[in-house]
Structure 1
Amino acid sequence: MIRLTLSQMRRSVGRLAAAGLAIVIGTAFVAITLLAGNVITRTTYDSIAAQFTGADLVVRGVPADDTALDAVRDTDGVATADPQLMSYQQLEAGGRTIFQGVLAEPTDTSVLPLEVADGNLPEASGEIALPVDVAERLDTTTGDTVTLVRNVLEGDQESDEDAWTEVREQLTVSGTLTDPYGAYSMQGGAAVAPAADVTAWDDDLRAPGEEPVEPTTVLVTLDDGTDVETARTAITGALTSAAAGSGTDTSGLKVVTPSEHAETVATEMTGGDNVIFTTFVLVFAAVALLVAALVIANTFQVLVAQRTRTLALLRCVGADKGQLRRSVLFEAAVLGLVSSVVGLAAGVGLGQAALTIGRGMDLGVPLPATVDITPAVILIPLVVGTLVTLVAALSPARAATRVAPLEALRPADAPSGARGAGRVRLVLSTLVAVVGFALLGGGVAVSTVGGEPSLGLMVGVAGGVLSFLGVLVGAVFWLPRVVALAGRLVGMSGPTARLAAANTLRNPRRTAATSTALLIGVTLVGMMSTGAASARVTMDAELDSRYPVDVTVSTDLSSDPVSVAAGDAAVPAVPGTLAGTVRDVAGVATVVESPATAAQVAGDGVDDGLAMTVRAVDPADAGSVLRSTEMVAPLAAGTAVVPEELSEVWNISDGQTLTLTGPDGSLEVTAAVTDLADSGLLVVPDDLASLDADAPVTSLWVGLDDPGDAASVVPTIQDAVADTEAPADVMGAAVERAGFQQVIDTALGIVVGLLAAAVVIALIGVANTLSLSVIERRRESATLRAIGLSKGQLRGMLAVEGLLIALVGAALGVLLGLVYGWAGAAAALGWAGTPVIVVPWRDVLLMLVVAAVAGLVASVAPARTAVKTSPVEALASE
């Protein structure tokens, strides 16, 4: 039987090719997913471990005293031991000010993850090496000087208000640095200065005699030939002994290797998110394999139907049912294993190619040079691909055992879509679908009306899974009827189209399976597109309402309103020329100046001595710059708009009367509580003038032409502000909005890319169905040719058939995708208010066009096969 099975496979290579290609894509998808998970893990660990490049051991929780550090340095086998110290300092040059983290230069510079781009590392006190981008922004090069501005505490801060003294020092730039592994990207890069200088800067921030209390991290390098485990034990013992003598707590002490430390930190940072990501992506790999299984099952069903006479003859000569079943399953196992091997090789090759391309791009992360091929990467795709193929062949194998010996004496009928269990399947699938859609709607209601987004999302996901399962299980009953309806509409165009419509219904099970495969992929792509589009618009509306100003430039955010109101301090004004400078920045649409002062606030239930920043803006000007004007709609003379967050803290209620007292007078206003961002009270300019006639302009409200350009426009505004003497803060919702949109677009791109594999597999199924249909209808096609059907009409008939199968599956998938996308967005974003329902028309039209083109392309090869055979030859064949 094995030889006979292999012989049948050789004769059916063409028919098995489509099924094999489907499983190749599916297993390649699984392999790429596992490889991506490994790359994410390695990249995360390498990024964290980059801070400890060259170190043999990392000692965490070392007591911050010289005794503990000396104990590590005096341990046998230890070459160097340096605390990892970073101090944040203010650097000035050319009128620009930057706050920069500065690393203490270690004894062994090989532990630094930074590389020298120009010049060298500091060699003496008073030198500093700057990150390349910082040097560019300060317009300095090697050999230039920068000013270090720092405060020194000369006494007890609590008893002496004048204890802080500003010190300005000149530092020479010894060189510039790059951070190739992004070790300090989260900190905005790192400069390097001599350890003695950095230690002295931090010591000056403490009162005389005050000792540091925070434990430190020490990077240790070992002498050549020293065993890491031996050194680890010795260091632990030395620190424990030193701590026992001084009574220091060592509960947080850990001596680990850089890789162990990276793994611990990665787990703390991500909570194992790399595993979650891999699992998430594997779900889509499972979808691709499910679609592949439908294609494979369809292929084997037709193969078994075409081999009815062969199977019956085998029964006549003594083959039992078990042998026939094992023959079909053996064929499936060989196909699955061979295709999985090819898919694994393709996945590894594509993964390595993607990694090579990624390393050539400036992604800002340390990508490994080669993919990490673990046993799981090899075994899982092979096992999954083979098992999926075997499971898909179970039903055809069972059908093979039902072939009676007498079938060899008469032609086989086409497979029937009706079975005894049809009614049970129909009832169960309908019940599951109805319950699922009810749960889906309930999840939306719980999230939006009930205010429980987490619970609503869980209920909605459960409902979505159940309803989709019910739809798929019952597709064999309703999908052929939809195809029939579409066929009747198409059939009005002529007899060729009517023949094509009739052909799709000759084998409703195969047509339903093929169209369902496409429906699955399109539904998921449509769901993600719709959900992402709805989420983007909903979150944009939420950001607009909470942070209506794209960018704000303020000089008073760090001012104390109490001191300002008491006349003990003044708020620095925005330089008069800055508004014009910002307005000239490319990408800036509008700039509105907002003056401010500080005022005492009194009212029922308001704490005595409360002082707040009071800003002013003209309502007409506000409308020209704000993304949403709802929160300033109540703004008018005699009204103060109060941010909701402030109202909750200071017990201010909507409609309450407040008395504001400023430097030049008092004013009674009515509080209007809105969702305005927490930036103080907002009044009209005339009301502010009654409080402070000379209130300076302390902030600029900046509107951008396109919030999506915030990533490039905001740094330019920051540079413009850095050129002024006033220390102004640049903030804005546009950056947050752009970051959110980037996350959504990236996630959508990844998911749609993953699901595209399922769509490709489904389209292969359409081509497979048409090819097998041509083989089954060989004599019928010859008869049609004999009675006058031209080659062009035959090609047209197959093209219409492919179009019907592809478009019906795609159209139904789009509808389901819209429903699931809307419901998912509503359930997930119920916390953000009323979700905005969006139809991604571009994506919908693109999916339908792709399905239509694919259906036409899928008919090309079968049509070529159909027209090659002459009518006489086909009619003469048995």
Structure 2
Amino acid sequence: MIRLTLSQMRRSAGRLAAAAVAIVIGTAFVAVTLLAGNVITSTTYDSIAAQYTGADLVVRGAAPGGATEDAVRDVAGVATADEQLMSYQQLENGGRTIFQGVLAEPTDPAVLPLTVTDGALPEAAGEIALPTDVAERLDVAPGDQITLARNVLDGDQEVDEQAWTEVREKLTVSGTLDDPYGAFSMMGGAAVAPAADVQGWEADLMGPGESSGEPATLLVTLDEGVDVGQTREAITGAAATAASNAGMDVSAVDVVTPDEHAESVASEMTGGEDVIFTTFVLVFAAIALLVAALVIANTFQVLVAQRTRTLALLRCVGADKSQLRRSVLFEATLLGLASSVVGLLAGLGLGQAALAVGRGMDLGVPLPETITLTPAVVLVPVVVGTLVTLVAAFAPARAATRVAPLAALRPDEAPTAARGAGRVRLVLSLLVAVVGFALLGAGVALSTAAGEPTTGLLVGVAGGVLSFVGVLVSAVFWLPRVVALAGRLVGASGPTARLAAANTLRNPRRTAATSTALLIGVTLVGMMSTAAASARITMDAEFDGRYPVDVTVSTDLSGSGKDATPVPAGLGDTVRELDGVASVLEVPATSVQLAGDGVDEAAQVIARGMDPDEAASVLRSTESLTPLAAGTAVVPENVADVWGVTDGQTLTLTGPDGPLETTAAVTELADDAVVLVPDDLATLDAAAPTTGLWVGLDDPRDAAAVVPTIQDAVADTEAPADVLGAAVERASFQQVIDTALGIVVGLLAVAVVIALIGVANTLSLSVIERRRESATLRAIGLSKAQLRGMLAVEGVLIALVGAVLGVLLGLVYGWTGAAAALGWAGEPAIAVPWRDVLLMLGVALVAGLVASVAPARTAVRTSPVEALATE
């Protein structure tokens, strides 16, 4: 039987090629999916944890200063431990001034998330490496010198009489830097200077006995081969002891890996639910294999139908049912194994090619140079592809055993619609679908109304799976009728169309299976497209709240307002005229003292003044400023936490011109200053200077291009101003999300391609079954063109009905999925991706026509006399 099976495979090479293509595509899809899942996860995590790239462990909430560094370095197994210290300094050259963040160079350069594009990192005191764009802005290159202008606090004076002395010194540019992961994109990049220099600059800003008081972050690298768990515990203990000695909160000390940090940040961005991306990735393989299985099953049905006489003759000469069954399954195993190996190789090649193309397209997201091979990537596609092929061949194998020996002597009747599905199946499938849709609605309600994203998402996913299973299982009852109804609509065009519509009902099970394969692919593509469009709008609203101001230009360099200088006259108009800038709000500010019950006696902050209506013209979201009114002080949550301010309490603000009693309104305002209406600010300081510009962009996605032009405009004024581009960080997060969703939709589109192969297989089987009928039609006058048209209409009906139903289901699942996953972020948006919908319908229409070409050629190639004679 083995030799006979191999011989039959050679004779059916053309037909097996169709099944092999489905298996290859399905297996390649699985391989690419696994690779893409790794890339999406690593890229997302790398972007979030970019500042910690290269570190083995990150100590958060540590006490600042050398004591913590020394304590951690003394832990056995620790190679290096450096505080991630950044000092903001004024750099000048050729009439241009830039206020730039400067990182302390770590002991191990591999910890830096920056790459050297020219020159080298600093090797001695008095050297500095600049971001490439900053070097261009200052018109310097490695080896050139720039001026560092900084204020030094005279520590010999009494505390109330402390004076500031400006110090100007020369620094040599050692090299230029790139920030591939956007670690410091919000700050306009980061320069690097020797740690001793940066620590000295910060120390010069402190008074006698003063310290930063802000929790520090340490980047730790470990020796090779050390036990990470034990070393981590030891580091935690050492850092906690140092924090206790410094009088800081020991419970705030946390030692994590960069990936754990990224996971926690990603969890915060998704409302505490970090399984959204992984859930999608895990189901992709199942989707591809399910669609491929349907196509494979149809293909083997074609093979069994072609071999009816051969199988019957084998029964006549003594072959039993088990031998025929084993022959079909052996054939499926060989086909599945060989095709899965080819599919794996194709998937690896496609994955590598996609990375190469992605890297060349400058997507704004750093992609790895090569794919990462893991045991799962290599073994899972081959094993699962082979098993799915084997399982898909079981039903055709059973059909082969039912071929009667007498079938070799008489024609086998084509299957008819007489055999229907059981009522039990109908009732159970409808029950599962109803329960599933109910759970889907409950998931949305939990996520939005109850504010429970985790439970809501899990319930929604369970409801989506159940409802989809119910729809697929019940498809055999209603889908052929839908195809027939569509056939009636086109039947008016002539008898050929009516014949095509009738042919779809000849075997409702196969018609349902084929259309269902396409239904699955289109539903999932539609779901992801709809969810992506809805999620993008919802996430834009969340980003608006997180980053309400696109760009800020501030001269409040110390954060206290003591050394604030007015924004240069005319700078606001200059920035307003730049391309990409929509609006500019000039914000006056002054330094004020806070007083109230429970408020820290040392509370001194910046107070800004702005009109709510004017602020609305520049802010992405005005929700945080809703309480702003006369007599009310809007206090950001971070400021309230630091100084002990509570919502609704009475605050007394004291400025240069006297006190003002206000009511505190604590909001999520992303700022470090108290906000008042202009009249209240004038009561505190009638001469409050304009120390900041709030800039709104036409499109925050263009921030990476617009922010440098704003920095150039500020640099030309020689003003010590800080340009903070929150929109750049926002754009980087959006780019990661858009790229991930694009990969997902691209992967799911492969399922549609697999399903379209099934349409061609179904038409091929239909041709085989209707050889005598086609010959009779040709004999009574049906032309070759009309026969081709009949098969084309049949293919279009099957493909288009599956696509239309898939689009409708995709819209439902996309909307509810986005609502369940992002309900925590507010009222979810409902969007229809019209471009994607029309594209899917157009592809289904064209594919239905193309799928009918090969079967039609087979049908018209046999003469009527020859076809009738064989019967």
Same fold per superposition (TM over 0.5):
yes
Q: Which residue of 2 aligns with 1:680?
A: 674
Matched, 1:88 2:56: no
Q: Which residue of 1 aligns with 2:247?
A: none
- Taking the aligned partners of 2:482 and 2:101, their CA distance within structure 1 comes to 66
Matched, 1:449 2:449: yes
Q: Please report the RMSD computed on the Cα atoms of aligned residues, expressed in angstroms.
A: 5.1
The amino acid that maps onto 1:101 is V
Render the CA deviation track for 1:404-424: whole Å, top value 9, x for unaligned.
334334322333556586212
Deviation at 1:483, TM superposition (A): 0.7
Q: Secondary structure at the match of 1:680?
A: strand
The amino acid that maps onto 1:500 is A
Task: Decide which moves more: 211-220 or 710-719.
Answer: 211-220
Q: Which residue of 1 aligns with 2:471?
A: 471
Change (3 A) 1:475 1:618: closer
1:710-859 matches, cutoff 5 A: 710-731=703-724, 734-735=727-728, 737-859=730-852
Render the CA deviation track for 1:300-346: whole Å, top value 9, x for unaligned.
12322343333233222222121111011011111111211221221
Name structure 2 gaps, 5 residues minimum: 243-254, 267-273
Q: Which residue of 1 aligns with 2:610?
A: 616
Deviation at 1:553, TM superposition (A): 3.1
Deviation at 1:388, TM superposition (A): 0.6
Deviation at 1:441, TM superposition (A): 0.8
- Taking the aligned partners of 2:460 and 2:523, their CA distance within structure 1 comes to 16
Render the CA deviation track for 1:669-715: whole Å, top value 9, x for unaligned.
899998866653443x5665566543333333433223332232123
Change (3 A) 1:298 1:38: same
Deviation at 1:438, TM superposition (A): 0.7
Q: Which residue of 1 aligns with 2:493?
A: 493
Render the CA deviation track for 1:581-607: whole Å, top value 9, x for unaligned.
101211112223343456788999999
| Identical-residue share of aligned pairs (%) | 70
Change (3 A) 1:548 1:682: farther
Render the CA deviation track for 1:739-786: whole Å, top value 9, x for unaligned.
454233212201111101101100111112112222322232222222
Matched, 1:707 2:705: no
Change (3 A) 1:352 1:150: same
- Taking the aligned partners of 1:643 and 1:517, their CA distance within structure 2 comes to 57
- Taking the aligned partners of 2:152 and 2:395, their CA distance within structure 1 comes to 81
- Taking the aligned partners of 1:316 and 1:68, their CA distance within structure 2 comes to 88
1:685-700 matches, cutoff 5 A: 685=678, 689=682, 692-700=685-693
Q: Which residue of 2 aligns with 1:23?
A: 23
Q: Secondary structure at the match of 2:393?
A: helix
1:533 and 1:840 in contact (8 A); partners too: yes
2:531 and 2:817 in contact (8 A); partners too: yes
For normalisation by structure 1, the TM-score amounts to 0.80
Deviation at 1:91, TM superposition (A): 4.6
1:45 and 1:263 in contact (8 A); partners too: no
1:335-734 matches, cutoff 5 A: 335-357=335-357, 371-416=371-416, 422-544=422-544, 549-556=549-556, 559-560=559-560, 569=562, 571-597=564-590, 613-617=607-611, 619=613, 621-622=614-615, 624-627=617-620, 640=632, 642=634, 650-653=645-648, 680-683=674-677, 685=678, 689=682, 692-731=685-724, 734=727
- Taking the aligned partners of 2:51 and 2:451, their CA distance within structure 1 comes to 44
- Taking the aligned partners of 1:521 and 1:794, their CA distance within structure 2 comes to 29
Deviation at 1:373, TM superposition (A): 4.4
Q: Secondary structure at the match of 2:583?
A: strand
2:99 and 2:720 in contact (8 A); partners too: no
1:93 and 1:139 in contact (8 A); partners too: no
The amino acid that maps onto 1:309 is R
Change (3 A) 1:483 1:732: same
The amino acid that maps onto 2:848 is G
Deviation at 1:506, TM superposition (A): 0.8
1:328 and 1:397 in contact (8 A); partners too: yes
- Taking the aligned partners of 2:592 and 2:180, their CA distance within structure 1 comes to 49
Deviation at 1:26, TM superposition (A): 1.1
The amino acid that maps onto 2:311 is L
1:595 and 1:617 in contact (8 A); partners too: no
Change (3 A) 1:395 1:791: same
Render the CA deviation track for 1:436-470: whole Å, top value 9, x for unaligned.
01111111111222222221111111100111111
Deviation at 1:292, TM superposition (A): 0.5
The amino acid that maps onto 2:706 is V
1:144-155 matches, cutoff 5 A: 144-149=144-149
Task: Decide which moves more: 750-759 or 87-96.
Answer: 87-96
1:31 and 1:347 in contact (8 A); partners too: yes
2:587 and 2:608 in contact (8 A); partners too: no
Give aligned pairs, total.
832
Q: Which residue of 1 aligns with 2:126?
A: 126
- Taking the aligned partners of 1:42 and 1:596, their CA distance within structure 2 comes to 42
Render the CA deviation track for 1:35-86: whole Å, top value 9, x for unaligned.
4566779989999999999x9x99999x9689989x99xx9xx9xx987576
Q: Which residue of 1 aligns with 2:248?
A: none
- Taking the aligned partners of 2:506 and 2:381, their CA distance within structure 1 comes to 36
Deviation at 1:478, TM superposition (A): 1.1
- Taking the aligned partners of 1:428 and 1:736, their CA distance within structure 2 comes to 50
Q: Which residue of 2 aligns with 1:224?
A: none
1:105 and 1:193 in contact (8 A); partners too: no
The amino acid that maps onto 1:616 is M
- Taking the aligned partners of 1:375 and 1:64, their CA distance within structure 2 comes to 44
Deviation at 1:661, TM superposition (A): 7.4
Q: Which residue of 1 aligns with 2:270?
A: none
Deviation at 1:736, TM superposition (A): 5.5
Deviation at 1:525, TM superposition (A): 0.9
Deviation at 1:6, TM superposition (A): 1.9
Task: Decide which moves more: 845-854 or 446-455.
Answer: 446-455
The amino acid that maps onto 2:86 is Y
1:174-189 matches, cutoff 5 A: 174-178=173-177
Deviation at 1:540, TM superposition (A): 2.6
Q: Which residue of 2 aligns with 1:173?
A: 172
Render the CA deviation track for 1:562-583: whole Å, top value 9, x for unaligned.
xx7xxxx575322221111101
Deviation at 1:870, TM superposition (A): 2.7
For normalisation by structure 2, the TM-score amounts to 0.81
The amino acid that maps onto 1:503 is N
Name structure 1 gaps, 5 residues minimum: 222-227, 250-261
Render the CA deviation track for 1:500-521: whole Å, top value 9, x for unaligned.
1111111111111111111111
The amino acid that maps onto 1:532 is A
Task: Decide which moves more: 660-669 or 448-457.
Answer: 660-669
2:414 and 2:770 in contact (8 A); partners too: no
- Taking the aligned partners of 1:391 and 1:495, their CA distance within structure 2 comes to 40
1:277-356 matches, cutoff 5 A: 280-356=280-356
Q: Secondary structure at the match of 1:829?
A: helix
Render the CA deviation track for 1:517-541: whole Å, top value 9, x for unaligned.
1111111111111111112222333
The amino acid that maps onto 1:587 is G
- Taking the aligned partners of 1:839 and 1:155, their CA distance within structure 2 comes to 64
Deviation at 1:162, TM superposition (A): 5.9
- Taking the aligned partners of 2:182 and 2:502, their CA distance within structure 1 comes to 65
The amino acid that maps onto 1:171 is K
The amino acid that maps onto 1:96 is T
Q: Which residue of 2 aligns with 1:253?
A: none
Change (3 A) 1:365 1:866: same
